[in-house]
């Protein structure tokens, strides 16, 4: 069998809280998506190196002001967290909690690649849930420090009346800043295994992987530190994720690492077994490179260029909206070969703009470029390209009350308000815009440009020092936006989005 060379990180982009499984010869993985819609992305691989987005669990899961970015509301840093993915009796299950609704959601489907998904909603927050099917019974492990066990009905659609619903145990407190959370639950080798992360205040003082095990569901549980390594990156621990095997009996874990502005990035870790304990890594380390006994099978890239040449009004799966879109106000067919974004409401900031269309950024460096037609923008309209996080940066066109057009570079001036760093008058209505990202060794800088011909580029504003902040809790995304500050009814047309990933900033 041909072997595939794995280099960590296996995905250098924001794919946090990963939960992988194997079904036959295919590997599937779900991750956190918070305020990006559609959400709970399902990724697939057959070689553990190349991962493709094949679908989403939902287009949106609530329809309210928070999820719709209306009335000044939002779900930044909230929404769906730490989903759990399992396959049982020919059915796939995904569950997660939402910090804004304080509810627990369970979705199920027979066809993970095409859906549809059926939804059940259970009151109450179950933090970082781990789903376990066990001899005809269904359990959810959840919590932070105090680990709770909740029994569900056989179809996982509701809490089982008179089933188990109790505090299972308390995890270590002494010298621990962030107590155990992010549970992944398994029954293997005659044991119940519960995998967690914790963040100690002593020792290496970084996130590390913890395993609890017991031969009985209700315990008592033994505890062991099974990985404490940073892959040589600024003491950022590689931890939190799930276990799986291959058809030939090899074991791996997909974990993730905080990687500053680009986000939380997945790493593949070999796993062996000693005395029925999982042993993560090689000699206690996450290997930078190793082989897996699987034939290499490249897939389409995670982030794509797009000429917006669609026959139907349906975008490629790589795109996600910032919060729920207003589907009446965007189109890729109204003007063939263009993405058209219309304004239907007023917004005070790009962070409150409906229908901002986004993709991830990737390390170590990448560049996104658009061609923008501003002909039909109205006075007070803003449109362009954004490096999206709480500390955002934009390069775009603003139309004044008198109808003049200016290219502007802006940043978050506080409370989400846009601070203009530089403007340049735009004669005409067509402009090329570009953002170049440098994540190499935590440089975390974004550079902003405009061009009248797509060949000669002019830097504008200042490089943005990107920062991963917990109010958004998401790595930087690149987005296309259009919003109104004075009157609705205008629109902006995006001729293309062209993306390039570089192995260093000089290539981006």
Q: What is the per-residue pLDDT across 4-30, written as a single tens digit (0 to 9) for each?
A: 999 999 999 999 999 999 999 999 999
Cβ contact 172:225 at 8 Å: no
* Whether 206 and 243 share a structural domain: yes
* Whether 23 and 169 share a structural domain: yes
Is residue 313 included in any domain, yes or no? no
Q: Which range marks the domain in which residue 90 is found?
A: 4-292
* Whether 202 and 287 share a structural domain: yes
Average pLDDT along the chain = 97
Cβ contact 498:508 at 8 Å: no
Task: Indicate the pLDDT class of residue 362, thresholds 50, 70 and 90.
Answer: very high
Cβ contact 499:508 at 8 Å: no
pLDDT at res. 415: 86
pLDDT at res. 478: 98
* Whether 235 and 120 share a structural domain: yes
* Whether 190 and 280 share a structural domain: yes
Domain count, the chain: 2
Is residue 170 included in any domain, yes or no? yes
pLDDT at res. 298: 95
Q: What is the per-residue pLDDT across 204-229, written as a single tens digit (0 to 9) for each?
A: 999 999 999 999 999 999 999 999 99
Residue 42 CB-half CA count within 13 A: 26
Q: What is the per-residue pLDDT across 126-168, written as a single tens digit (0 to 9) for each?
A: 999 999 999 999 999 999 999 999 999 999 999 999 999 999 9
Q: What is the per-residue pLDDT across 287-346, written as a single tens digit (0 to 9) for each?
A: 999 999 999 999 999 999 999 999 999 999 999 999 999 999 999 999 999 999 999 999
506 has a pLDDT exceeding 60: no
Is residue 300 included in any domain, yes or no? no
439 has a pLDDT exceeding 90: yes
* Whether 336 and 409 share a structural domain: yes
Token pair, residue 90, equals 């020919």
Helix (H) or strand (E) holding 3: none
Task: Indicate the pLDDT class of residue 416, thresholds 50, 70 and 90.
Answer: confident
* Whether 20 and 84 share a structural domain: yes
Cα(450)–Cα(434) distance, integer angstroms: 6
Q: What is the per-residue pLDDT across 67-77, written as a single tens digit (0 to 9) for each?
A: 999 999 999 99
Is residue 287 included in any domain, yes or no? yes
CATH number at residue 119: 2.115.10.20
Distances (CA, A) of 27 to 51, 113, 199: 9, 12, 29
Is residue 288 included in any domain, yes or no? yes
* Whether 219 and 329 share a structural domain: no
- Mean pLDDT, range 335-360, rounded to an integer: 97
Token pair, residue 331, equals 């189109």
- For the chain, the distance separating the N- and C-terminal CA atoms, rounded to the nearest angstrom, is 36
- Predicted TM-score (pTM) of this structure: 0.96
33 has a pLDDT exceeding 80: yes
* Whether 51 and 180 share a structural domain: yes
Task: Indicate the pLDDT class of residue 502, thresholds 50, 70 and 90.
Answer: confident
> What residues does 218 pair with on adjacent strands?
none
Is residue 165 included in any domain, yes or no? yes
* Whether 364 and 463 share a structural domain: yes
Residue 316 CB-half CA count within 13 A: 19
* Whether 352 and 259 share a structural domain: no
Q: What is the CA radius of gyration of the chain?
A: 23
State the DSSP string of 4-52: EEEESSSS-B---S-EEEEETTEEEEE---BTEESEEEEEEESSSS--E
Task: Indicate the pLDDT class of residue 1, thresholds 50, 70 and 90.
Answer: low
pLDDT at res. 442: 87
Is residue 297 included in any domain, yes or no? no
508 has a pLDDT exceeding 80: no
SS3 label, residue 393: strand
Domain final position from 292, 311, 337: 292
Task: Indicate the pLDDT class of residue 507, thresholds 50, 70 and 90.
Answer: low
CATH number at residue 387: 2.60.120.200
Is residue 272 included in any domain, yes or no? yes
* Whether 368 and 486 share a structural domain: yes
């Amino acid at each position: 069998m041909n072997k595939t060379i794995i280099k960590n990180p296996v995905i250098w982009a924001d794919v946090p809280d990963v939960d992988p499984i194997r079904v036959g010869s295919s590997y599937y993985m779900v991750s956190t998506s918070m305020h990006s819609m559609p959400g709970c992305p399902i990724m697939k691989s057959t070689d553990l190196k190349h991962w493709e987005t094949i679908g989403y669990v939902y287009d949106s899961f609530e329809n309210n002001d928070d999820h719709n970015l209306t009335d000044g509301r939002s779900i930044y840093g909230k929404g769906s967290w730490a989903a759990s993915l399992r396959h049982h009796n020919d059915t796939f299950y995904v569950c997660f909690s939402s910090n804004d609704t304080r509810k627990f959601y369970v979705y199920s489907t027979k066809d993970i690649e095409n859906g549809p998904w059926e939804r059940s909603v259970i009151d109450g927050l179950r933090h970082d849930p781990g789903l376990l099917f066990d001899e005809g019974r269904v359990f959810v492990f959840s919590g932070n420090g105090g680990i709770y066990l909740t029994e569900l009905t056989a179809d996982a659609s509701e809490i089982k009346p008179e089933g188990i619903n109790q505090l299972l145990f308390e995890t270590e407190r002494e010298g621990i800043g962030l107590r155990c959370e992010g549970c992944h639950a398994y029954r293997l080798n005659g044991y119940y295994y519960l995998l967690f992360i914790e963040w100690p205040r002593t020792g290496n003082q970084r996130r590390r992987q913890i395993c609890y095990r017991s031969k009985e569901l209700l315990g008592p549980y033994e505890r062991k530190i099974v990985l404490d390594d940073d892959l040589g990156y600024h003491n950022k621990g590689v931890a939190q994720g799930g276990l799986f095997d291959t058809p030939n009996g090899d074991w791996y874990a997909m974990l993730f690492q905080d990687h500053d502005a680009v986000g939380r990035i997945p790493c593949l870790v070999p796993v062996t077994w000693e005395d029925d304990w999982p042993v993560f890594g090689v000699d206690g380390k996450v290997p930078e490179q190793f082989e897996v006994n699987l034939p290499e099978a490249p897939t389409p890239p995670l982030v794509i260029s797009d000429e917006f040449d669609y026959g139907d009004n349906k975008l490629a799966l790589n795109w996600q909206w910032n919060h729920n879109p207003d589907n009446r106000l965007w189109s890729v067919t109204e003007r063939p070969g263009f993405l058209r974004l219309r304004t239907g409401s007023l917004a005070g900031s790009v962070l409150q703009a409906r229908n901002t269309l986004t993709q991830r950024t990737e390390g170590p460096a990448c560049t996104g470029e658009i061609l923008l037609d501003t002909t039909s923008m109205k006075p007070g309209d803003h449109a362009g390209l954004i490096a999206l996080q709480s500390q955002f940066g934009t390069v775009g066109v603003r139309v004044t009350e008198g109808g003049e057009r200016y290219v502007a570079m802006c940043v978050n001036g506080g409370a989400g308000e846009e601070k203009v760093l530089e403007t340049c008058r735009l004669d005409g209505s067509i402009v090329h815009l570009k953002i170049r990202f440098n994540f190499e060794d935590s440089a975390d800088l974004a550079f902003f440009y405009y061009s009248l011909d797509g060949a000669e580029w002019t830097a504008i504003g200042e490089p943005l020092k990107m920062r991963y902040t917990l109010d958004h809790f998401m790595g930087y995304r690149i987005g296309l936006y259009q919003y109104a500050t004075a009157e609705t009814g205008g629109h902006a047309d995006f001729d293309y989005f062209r993306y390039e990933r570089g192995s260093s900033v000089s290539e981006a």
